[in-house]
Structure 1
Amino acid sequence: MANWIINNGLTAFILIVWMGINTFLFVWFYLFYDLGDKFFYTRHLLGPALAWARAPAAVLNFNCLLILLPVCRNLLSLLRGSFMCCGRTMRKQLDHNLSFHKLVAYMIGLMTAVHMVAHLLNVEWYNNSRRGVYDKLSTALSDLEDSNTTTYLNPIRNIDTDAQQTPTYLVFTTIAGLTGVIITLALILIITSSMEVIRRSYFEVFWYTHHLFVIFFAGLVFHGAGRIVRGQVETDPPHNFTLCKDRVEDWGRVPECPIPQFAGGFPQTWMWVIGPMILYLCERLLRFIRYMQTVRYRKIVMRPSKVLELQLQKNGFKMEVGQYVFLNCPAISQLEWHPFTMTSAPEEDFFSVHIRSAGDWTDKLISIMEQLPEGAQGPKMGVDGPFGTASEDVFDYEVSMLVGAGIGVTPFASILKSIWYKFKDCNPKLRTRKIYFYWLCRETHAFEWFADLLKGLESEMEERGMGDFLTYKLFLTSWDPSLPFHEDVHFDKEADVITGLKQKTHFGRPAWDKEFELVRKENPTSVVGTFLCGPGALAEVLAKKCAKYSDVDPRKTKFYFNKENF
């Protein structure tokens, strides 16, 4: 338990606080509408559905305030810089931004469903009360005359004289009803298109439907303007429902029972969301400014395994290790932006990305680049960033374990390059004294473009007598045993036949228990940062191993898990 708290304690605390606020808002507003005197007559018409409609609305307001903040990338980068003076545990929370964004979205979806069902019941009960289905008090409340249509209780008016005033007409013509339908449809499309299978296989569908959030927020701001839910207001003389509820025939005839009057509450949703909306508008404005800045191609290289390397230059661009950028290519799409971790080091006068064929957008970009004449500039490229990630904190740990899967090696390419430059300049101001690097690939060609960097690091460390600084292990997870490079055939070779490195390629997946035990044994009193850029299944394994092999004694080895998130 103590080991779990080391890696997840603050995250769990934040989630508990978030859930506590949601629970408090739900209970508070439920009791407010279920017990408040102001809504006695409203409850008489609607029953418990009144409170079940209003309590989720309060929770929705709170979560709609939060939903945009985790996707304000520049805000998060600013906060990450501000937290540099704080502990790494605080900065680590920013790496869970997309997970929190999804969690808030699920809460919005759940509360929207409850809110919608409750209001559908409310409309039906309003209609039944107007038709005299219930008791005489309900009929009297629905039949209250109101020439100015400002003090009524039942929004379904004059059914007997105007055939249009039906529940369906109310839903599709009133501000609250029409915006409610639009909000619900937009939310359904946003959530369903965000499923993993859609995002991975049909990213464009996810991208375009996700921008329905603009319609969602516009409808949200105006949704409460209809003031459909109405409560009793004070009159002179006052109408005491305790005294008058059973004396409907005396309403307006005796001083102690004047005709009750009602009014809708002041719309409040806009006050919850206006701040995040302004922040997000500023975010998009900054993205547009960056999009308009000129980006020059320094080099375009096609690597093995259909990996495209772009070396780019942009005035005023400054980066740190492990950061990422968003790229936009108008020749493919004016609206789509895709994230890529930079593989260059801060010491270089350019920034580079390696792009693997993984969908329509990347396939089109690679096809365009392959057709360019040698030495030609590529199409216009918009660059937004750089943005911070967990990998920025690599050099804050005494010992770091870097785990890359496939193209997930890219943030670690930046880190290892930066190490090479630091040692080359003979001034390695590093707190880190040991790095373990693991790279898992399914095919041999994937190793080729990265092997040169490892060769350079290998020779540089040996020349400086620091061969123990970097320990790297390459794992080929899928292979044909009949191929001539199999380890059983070339175990006696000085260099690995796949990569040309002195470190031999391992076949199969790492035995993580063995690896963590080794790291703990070699670093008995160190704080070890474990960094992953790879699939979620591997993240779960590594997170568990970090908890398992962290020692309760603060003087002994601790493992902290960090994962790249896009």
Structure 2
Amino acid sequence: TMGYWILNEGPTVLILLLWLGLNIFLFVYTFLLYEKSEAYAYTRVLLGSSLAWARASAMCLNFNCMLILLPVCRNLVSFLRGSCSCCRGSMRRQFDKNLTFHRMVAYMIVLHTIIHVVAHLFNIERYHRSQSVEAGELLNRLSFLGKNPNESYVNPIREYSTNTTKELFVTIAGVTGVVITVALILIVTSSTEFIRRSFYEVFWFTHHLFVIFFIGLIIHGAGRIVRGQTSQSLLHHNLTYCKDHSWEWGNVSQCPLPQFTGSEPATWKWVIGPMILYICERIIRFYRSQQKVAIIKVVTHPSKTLELQMKKRNFKMEPGQYVFLQCPTISPLEWHPFTLTSAPEEDHFSVHIRIVGDWTGTLYEACGANGKGFIEPWNLPRIAIDGPFGAASTDVFHYQVSVCIGAGIGVTPFASVLKSIWYKLCDPNTSSKLQKVYFFWICRDTYTFEWFTDLLVSLEGQLSEKGKSHFLSYHLFLTGWNESQAAHIALHCDEKRDVITGLKQKTFYGRPNWDIEFKKIADNHPGNSIGVFFCGPKALSKVLCKMCHCYSSADPRGVHFHYNKESF
């Protein structure tokens, strides 16, 4: 419904409209400034409208390059998210979309880079053409300026014989422009989902070309190739008359030779603040990386999943948070995000790592999980931890009713949540707003269930003992099986406990019918605000987001589903 959409997506749309509005304003304002300003009248004679296109896109590049670093200052984002704990959930959720905003700003940078580069290619050609005899008297006169003492030039191409391609690689603006563009192309092309998933190291290393990008960006304006008439020159030079009487320049009082100067470099003023913040961010990360982390237990689970149980002094966490993990012996530079699967009440913290790439594969072997031999605790690889950081699932306890949906390894955020629920039920002095949890887990094979079902079995028993079996409603879905597994399942289908998980709740085979599930939840909890938390693939995320829209009531007093997706 429209009311639900405004309530949940309104802040997001407002932020996007504000950002787009500022981009449009800066572009139009700068475009008109260079298209109408008298200071650039003679520059426009040489370049035409491509001057305004180049400068307007440059202004938007400055603005977006100011923003691009802020969403990846994860300590800042986590701090702001924590500071907004008293705010509405829809406001807190904006901080969970930091990477989405980072990507959108990157797309805007690409767009304005294309405009800027194309406009300047036209500018270089027009500067060059203005030096030819066929260009005309005014263009020739402007291009000749600066060849005599006490004159300032407006055309940076000084001779018609100049090789413009060579000029591109010997000037400050040209060299830095090429470096910035190449760095941006490498960063963007290596940021595709395929590269991130299959060659994460390539993505990680090329992304750090942003250092070269920003250095080049700051230096780029020092070339000052776009030059305008000085304010002092405009006072004495009658532009209206002199523009059509270039042969009289320097010979009559109202037409002294026009004086030109390049624009002061301004990019550094835009990016200095975010760069200082990001440097502080990296200092914090470095400090944390030097703190000692002890691996107290290594557990191997089916489907090549590695569990690391660790301890670190003064480490405090909340259910559903995540950390960045580094192993210096594998790579001194790479940091990888992993959801914490332990509860705050435990005396350690843990992560579950699925082995899917070079880095995780090397860690798997370094921890002795390949079964080739026992590794003494003091011979385990050194681990560095940055975090913990807030994520969407930390808000599970802010609702009376929460729906947790995990797909495959995407169940990890909810391991921490369910463990915390277990500990809260064990402690009679702990009160919680949360009254009901619906848990859905969709898996491709039976092996994936194994590492998580122990937790569910103990939680099921604890809830039964406390007389709170109704508190947790869990649904496990198996989407892949072979003939022998199917026969085994059919043979034991009448037993009291599930043949795969050992739980009282039987496993479902196939995919959930989300229409039925959401309608059932909506009917069970009329008038409630229900938090829906998901970690898994993008395609399923879109389906669940749509379900939240469809089954939220238009009546403010009706049921409302609030969608939250893990993103790190």
- TM-score bracket, normalised by the shorter chain, equals over 0.9
In the TM superposition, what are the counterparts of 1:16-415 in structure 2 within 5 Å?
A: 16-147=17-148, 151-159=152-160, 165-233=162-230, 234-235=232-233, 238-369=236-367, 370=369, 371=372, 373-377=374-378, 378-415=380-417
SS in 1 for 2:470: coil
Residues 141-150 or 247-256, more deviating: 141-150
Which runs of no fewer than 5 residues in structure 2 stay unpaired? none
Mapped partners of 2:139, 2:486: distance in 1: 87
Instruction: Please give the per-residue CA displacement for 1:486-530, whole angstroms capped at 9, x wherever unaligned.
Output: 554332110001000001010001000000001011111111000
SS in 2 for 1:529: strand
- Return closer, same or farther for 1:149/1:351 CA change in 2, 3 Å cut-off: farther
Mapped partners of 2:177, 2:548: distance in 1: 46
Would you say 1:478 and 2:476 are equivalent positions? no
Mapped partners of 1:296, 1:62: distance in 2: 43
Q: Percent identity of the aligned residues?
A: 57
Mapped partners of 1:142, 1:92: distance in 2: 56
- Return closer, same or farther for 1:322/1:149 CA change in 2, 3 Å cut-off: farther
CA contact (8 A) 2:319 2:417 kept: yes
Would you say 1:541 and 2:538 are equivalent positions? no
Q: What code does the residue aligned with 2:113 have?
A: T
Deviation at 1:556, TM superposition (A): 1.2
Instruction: Please give the per-residue CA displacement for 1:523-560, whole angstroms capped at 9, x wherever unaligned.
Output: 11111000001010010000000000000111111000
- Return closer, same or farther for 1:190/1:237 CA change in 2, 3 Å cut-off: closer
Mapped partners of 1:132, 1:287: distance in 2: 61
Mapped partners of 2:480, 2:321: distance in 1: 29
Mapped partners of 2:540, 2:149: distance in 1: 65
Deviation at 1:132, TM superposition (A): 2.8
CA contact (8 A) 1:127 1:166 kept: no
Which runs of no fewer than 5 residues in structure 1 stay unpaired? none
Deviation at 1:145, TM superposition (A): 3.2
Give the TM-score normalised by the residue count of structure 2.
0.97
- Return closer, same or farther for 1:210/1:416 CA change in 2, 3 Å cut-off: same
CA contact (8 A) 1:529 1:560 kept: yes
Q: What code does the residue aligned with 2:476 have?
A: L
Deviation at 1:2, TM superposition (A): 2.4
Deviation at 1:134, TM superposition (A): 1.7
Would you say 1:522 and 2:520 are equivalent positions? no
Mapped partners of 2:165, 2:459: distance in 1: 71
CA contact (8 A) 1:237 1:256 kept: no
Mapped partners of 2:488, 2:428: distance in 1: 39
Mapped partners of 1:372, 1:434: distance in 2: 45
CA contact (8 A) 2:229 2:259 kept: yes
- Return closer, same or farther for 1:484/1:198 CA change in 2, 3 Å cut-off: closer
Mapped partners of 1:478, 1:136: distance in 2: 78
Q: What code does the residue aligned with 1:92 have?
A: R
The equivalent position to 1:498 in structure 2, one of 500, 504, 513, is 500
Mapped partners of 1:379, 1:258: distance in 2: 75
The number of residue pairs the alignment matches comes to: 562
Deviation at 1:148, TM superposition (A): 6.2
Deviation at 1:418, TM superposition (A): 0.4
CA contact (8 A) 1:295 1:314 kept: yes
SS in 2 for 1:327: strand
Deviation at 1:169, TM superposition (A): 2.9
Deviation at 1:63, TM superposition (A): 0.4
Deviation at 1:7, TM superposition (A): 2.5
Give the TM-score normalised by the residue count of structure 1.
0.97
